[in-house]
Every structure is written in C-alpha cells, then in structure tokens.
Chain A
Amino acid sequence: MTANVLLFKITLLIYFIATIFYLIGVISRNDKFSCNAKRLLIGGFAMHCLSIGVRWLATDITPAASLHESLSFFAWSLVFIYILFDLRYHMAMLGAFISPLALALMIFGAAVPSQAPNVNPMLDSWWFPVHVSLAFLGHAVFAIAAAAGVMYLLQERMLKSKKFSGLFYRLPSLNALDSMNYKCLTFGFPLMTMGIISGAIWANSAWGGYWRWDPKETWALITWFLYAALLHGRLTVGWRGRRAAIFAIIGFIFLLFTFFGVNLFLSGEHTFRNFTGE
C-alpha cells in the first residue's frame, strides 16, 4: 500500500467517525458530539490534503484522472467548501448533512481501483487542474445548496404540519436556509460556468475542438441550464423557499448523474477509461 492510499484510508476512517459523532449528536441532542464531530471533520480534512498532496507529488499529475482520484477530490472539495462556509456563515446542523455525503464519496472511492492512471500526455496541461478544481468546487457548493434544501424541506414540513420532532429545535430558520440557497447559487453558478469554459479551452488545446457534445458535456450543459433557471427565477420572479430548495436538490442529483452516470452508463471522452487511453 503506498503512502497516499494509506493516508486516504485514514481520512476515510476519520470521516466515518465524524459522521457517527454527528449522528449521535443529532439523536442524543448533545452538542458536545456535534462539536467534536466538526473537529474530527477538520482533522480528517488535514489528512485528506496530505493524501492528495502526496499522490500529486508521486504521480506528478493532478490527482483527478481516475475515478478513485476524482471521488477523493470531490470529497475533498466538499469538506473544504463546508469548512469555508462554516467559518463565514456558521450554520447549525450543516455538517451533519455534509459529513455523510463526503463519507459516501470516500467509501465509493475506496471501492474502486486506486492505482495511478497512465494519463494520455496530450491531456496533461495546466488547463487540467484549473478545469477540475473549478468544476469540483462548484459541485461542492451545490452540494451545500442541496443539503440546505433538504434541511429547508424538513423544517418547512414541520412548520406546516405543526408536528415537531427534536430536529425542529436544531435546524436553522427557514429564512437562513433559503438565503443559504441563494448564496450557494451566487458562488456555485460562476464556478460551474468557469469550469465549463475552462474545460472547453482545455478540450480545444488537447483535441482541437471546443465542444464535442459527448454525454458528459451534454449533461453538464443541462445541469447548467437548470441552475441558470433557478438563478433567474430567484432574481426575477421571486422563486424562493420550497421551490428553490427542491430545485437545488434536483440540480445536485443532475450533477451527480453527470459525474457518475455518464461514467458508469454512457461513454465518451470524459469517461476515465478513455481519459487514461487504456
């Protein structure tokens, strides 16, 4: 087992414990657990940085070229963005929703082969890290929007039905969740847009064409339109609340499909098989 894979597994373990702590914190209503869960998540993130850094040095190429690497990078972006959002906006319970998602990505990442890919030298340019960083940071921001969306729907349901579970007392207010949706949109949408543009430029330099309508590109575009519609709806027609929350969740499902589905069910230039030229 190479150093980076070991570090990856330690990271996964820490995320796992953090998720368990969040779960206990939510069920037992003990803030100490949630507080320690967050510390664990931050500790896990430090380990994760190390894991990705070591791999980058070892393979000498942006560690997002295989499915394993991408999943790890996605989870890393998610926790990174969560920590930033937590510092800036501090939203209760958000970690309890983000941590399991990061863990799921890591478990998936652990299940697929982790050996270093042979990257087609044509693709190895500076546009590669730029493209994947922008894309994954965008994904992460939208993941937070989706988490806020789920929290909104839970809280809204309790307020409408007037039946309160313990969650009611811990979830943030509807307004806070809704404005989180908007903030995520204002950060996520530019990131995603730049991700797509940088991808096009990279494609042009590698393959000599900006846009080839391969499945991933098509699905990314569909997802982009979805978020564009939400942003437009928010800004002009006053979409908000439930509708915006549902949109953010659907948008993220599309994102996940663009990321996984295209790789698993469809074929094209973006599948890792083609990427590594095997």
Chain B
Amino acid sequence: MHIVIIGLSHKTAPVEIREKLAFSPTAMEKPLRQMLDLPAVAEGLIISTCNRVELCAATKTPDAAIAALRRFLAEYHEIAPEEIEQNLYDYQGTEAISHLFRVASSLDSMVLGEPQILGQIKTSYGYAAEFKTVGLILNRFLHKAFSVAKRVRTETGIASNAVSVSFAAVELARKIFDRLDDKGVMIIGAGEMCELAAKHFVSNGISKVLVTNRTFERAEKLAEEFQGKAVPFDQFTDHLAEVDIIMTSTGAPNFILGQRQMEEVIKRRKNRPMFLIDIAVPRDIDPKINNIDNVYLYDVDDLQGVVQSNLKERKKEANKAEAIVEQEIGQFHKWLGNLEVKPTVVALRRKLEEIRQQELNKTFGNLKDLTASQRKSIEAMSGAIINKILHQPTALLKRTQDETNGEDYVDAVRALFDLPAPAEGDEEIKPLDDMEESK
C-alpha cells in the first residue's frame, strides 16, 4: 500500500485559484465519497483551508491514483484539468509522508509555526473518519502526523515567539515584568490595534485596566468591555504612576507625553519599570523618554522590528523541526512496509520455526536415550503441527491481500506474534514458496 498526496498551497497557487478549488467544510461527504469511488483509491482524506487544498489517499497503484486525483480535483470544481496543472503538486512514498508531517507541523505554513493548521487537519480527518473514507493506513498516518506535530511544538521553539504586533507587545511586557497578573495597563485613545493588544494583555492576566479618551463616553464604553475604569482625558497624567503599561493611539498632532512628565512619574513609582507602547502616527510619546532608566518605549516600527526578529528566530527553530520530521518519516515508512503480506508470512514462519527448534533441543536434552528414528519422527511431528497451525492464517493473508481490509490482518498478525520488521532483502534469502514446498 502506498500513500499519495496531490494538492496546491499558497506556495503554488494564488488565492483566486485556491478559492476556486476549496471544499466547503459543511459539505464534505459528497467529495469524500466520490474520491473513494475512484478505482485507484483505497482510502481518502481531504484537507481544505484558505491556504491549501490537499487530497490524500492510500492506494496500491500510486501513479494511477495521482492521475485520477488530479482529474477529480479539477472536475469536481468544474474546471479543465489543464487549467490548474501548473499549480498542483503531487507526492508519493516518503515524500508524501514528509509533506503531510511538515504541513501538520506548520513548517509549510504561510506564517511559519502558526498553530491553526493542526486543528484544521484534525477537523478534516474528523470528517473522513465520520464518513468512513479512512482505514487502517490513513488512520495511522494521520495520528502519526498529529504526534509529529506535537513533538515539533514541544521540542522546538517554532511557535514560541509572537509574529503579530499585538502579541509581540505582550511578550515584551513579559520580558520586562515577568508576570503580568499584578500589573495594570492604561489605554489612551481608541484604535483597533490598541484594543486588540489590550485584549491580549487581559487574557494574559493583566488585572487592572484604565481607559482614557477625549470623548469620555468612548472611554467608558471601552472600559466596560475590559471591566476597567474610565479616566477623564484631562486627568490621565495623574493616574500614570498607577499603571505599568501604557498604550497610546490618539490622533493628537503633538506629543501628549513628554520627558519631564515621565521622569516625574518614574520617580513617584520608585523606579518600578514602565512599558510604553505608542501605536499612534504621528507619535503620541516623545521618543526621548526611552532614555529614562527603567522606561521602555516602543512605537509601531519597533514592534514590527520585534516581529521580524521573532520570525527569524522561528526559521532557526524550523531546522530542528525538519530533523524531527526526518526521523519520524523513517519510522512510519517502515511500518507501512511491514504491511506487505509476503515478508509477514516469512517472518511468522521463521518465528514459529525458532520456537520449534528451541523446544526440540530442550526435549532432546532431557530424553537422551532416544533412537535416531524416534528423534526424526518427533521432529516431523512438530513440523507438521506448525504447518497445520499456519495453514489457515497464511491462506487468509494471501486471499485478502488485494482486498481493502487486507492490511488489517497483516497488522494484527504482526502485533499478535510480535514480529520483527523484515530486514532488507529478507525475501530473497528464503522465498516463502520454497519453505512451503520443503515440508
């Protein structure tokens, strides 16, 4: 059995094409069933997000399956296959395994390390499981992909640094204050980014929120949203010393916070540090304030810079992630190979033969006065028992190997008898048929 993937992503197709080929998440049953009806496809799964569409299948004939899936994707969306030819990629074998592992680990995402993709794949898998279009192979494959993604997430820092401006602000605050739960924030002016950052701060434990605005009603409204307190605009400077973080985004043409003022505030705070975020353009806070000890002032460009260096950091972590993926591919590929019938039967027979030899040696050790002919008949008898026992399972494995659930039996036999993975070239050394004929 082989795994194949065809699809397109933000790397190979513009959004106009991606949206044309996307599958609606509310109606997955129809395409999944149609996909499974393709003669080359034994198991099927569709992943469709705004950044990618992937068709993943288990098949006995990978090349035929890839061709059929390419056609299916175009025809399902009523597009001529030639039209999207250059946007599609296809993978089989270890490449397909590697591709899905990388996608699930967010190594192929537009924003490296973004966490949504794993959830999206899990949802897609959920549909496929619900409509029973996945079986042994894809079940195992997807679960493996989930565990690889989890390993990548916990063992590398690929998702650890903020790549949005508002989150970067929260992380900087952590680098200054360590804990945020006993800290206060003041929001001066309104603005989407300010609100978003405030939301992040609150969800990260900030307990005290003050809001001020030239229009007091707007301040009150925003304060209510964060269960904070509104402060009249002409008095906000009196409250500066109470908070640790200040975010400004007013439309004021001049600085609303000057150096002298800030020095006063820091003195009143006994040098406890302050983090100022100036999102306004033109700026609200005099940049010279950054020179005051224990005050850290960031404007929009600074925060963008932080995001850039975080992205660089993620890229470095991605190398570690690639190494993890590489390791896991080998393991899964081996498991897939184990599902072949022939080497499994060989391994099963060898295992029983080993047991037989061990027991024979033990018995002959105890019964030293057996004659040669007696020994021979015991040997023949034990060999016959093994052959009799093996007859039914071997026949079943061979009979079902071309059916869809054939791998289930192979997998079960391997698990029941704890069979080792076949080494390279095992089949050539002792062909199964020879062993059977020798009885």
Contacts and interface: CB of A to CB of B under 8 A. Distances in A.
B161 A175 contact: no
Given A169-B157, A239-B271, A240-B271, A162 B294 contact: no
A239 B267 CA distance: 11
A239 B273 CA distance: 11
Contacts of A162: 298, 302, 305-306
Interface in B1-44: none
B313 A166 contact: yes
A164 B273 contact: no
A159 B296 CA distance: 7
A88 interface: no
Interface in A131-182: 155, 159-160, 162, 164, 166, 168-169, 172-176
Nearest to A239: B271
B427 interface: no
A237 B293 CA distance: 15
Contacts of B316: 29, 166
B306 A173 contact: no
B296 A164 contact: no
A214 to B, nearest CB: 39
Nearest to B320: A30
B290 A176 contact: no
Contacts of A238: 270-272
Interface string B251-276: 00000000000000000001111000
Nearest to B177: A175
Given A241-B293, A241-B294, A242-B294, A159 B305 contact: no
Interface residues of A, number: 22
B176 A173 contact: yes
B170 interface: no
B151 to A, nearest CB: 14
Contacts of B172: 159
Contacts of B161: 169
Contacts of A39: none
B225 interface: no
B309 interface: yes
A173 B271 contact: no
Interface in B98-128: none
Given A29-B316, A160-B296, A162-B305, A174 B273 contact: yes
Contacts of A160: 290, 296
B376 interface: no
Q: Label chain A's interface by main secondary structure.
A: helix
A210 B24 CA distance: 88
A176 B179 CA distance: 9
Interface in B164-184: 172, 174-179
Contacts of A30: 320
B176 A174 contact: yes
Nearest to A171: B175
B283 to A, nearest CB: 15
Interface string A235-263: 00111111100000000000000000000
A176 B316 CA distance: 26
Nearest to A169: B313
Interface in B312-343: 313, 316-317, 320
A173 B174 contact: yes
A155 B294 CA distance: 12
Contacts of A159: 172, 175-176, 296
A260 to B, nearest CB: 32
A159 B290 CA distance: 10
Contact of B294 (A29, A176, A240): A240
Nearest to A172: B178
A239 B317 CA distance: 38
Nearest to A238: B270
A75 to B, nearest CB: 30
B27 to A, nearest CB: 44
A184 B68 CA distance: 70
B271 A241 contact: yes
Nearest to B317: A29
Interface string A216-241: 00000000000000000000011111
A211 B346 CA distance: 89
Nearest to B296: A159
A238 B320 CA distance: 44
B61 to A, nearest CB: 43
Nearest to A158: B175
Given A162-B298, A162-B302, A240-B272, A173 B290 contact: no
The 8 A-B pairs with the shortest beta carbon distances in the complex, nearest first, are: A238-B270, A173-B178, A175-B178, A238-B271, A176-B178, A164-B309, A162-B302, A241-B294
Given A164-B309, A173-B176, 11 more contacts: A159-B175, A159-B296, A160-B290, A164-B306, A172-B178, A174-B177, A176-B178, A238-B271, A238-B272, A239-B271, A240-B271
Interface of A: 29-30, 155, 159-160, 162, 164, 166, 168-169, 172-176, 237-243
19 contacts: A29-B157, A159-B172, A159-B175, A159-B176, A159-B296, A162-B306, A164-B309, A168-B175, A169-B157, A169-B160, A172-B178, A173-B177, A173-B178, A174-B273, A175-B176, A175-B273, A238-B272, A240-B270, A241-B293
Interface of B: 157, 160-161, 172, 174-179, 270-273, 290, 293-294, 296, 298, 302, 305-306, 309, 313, 316-317, 320
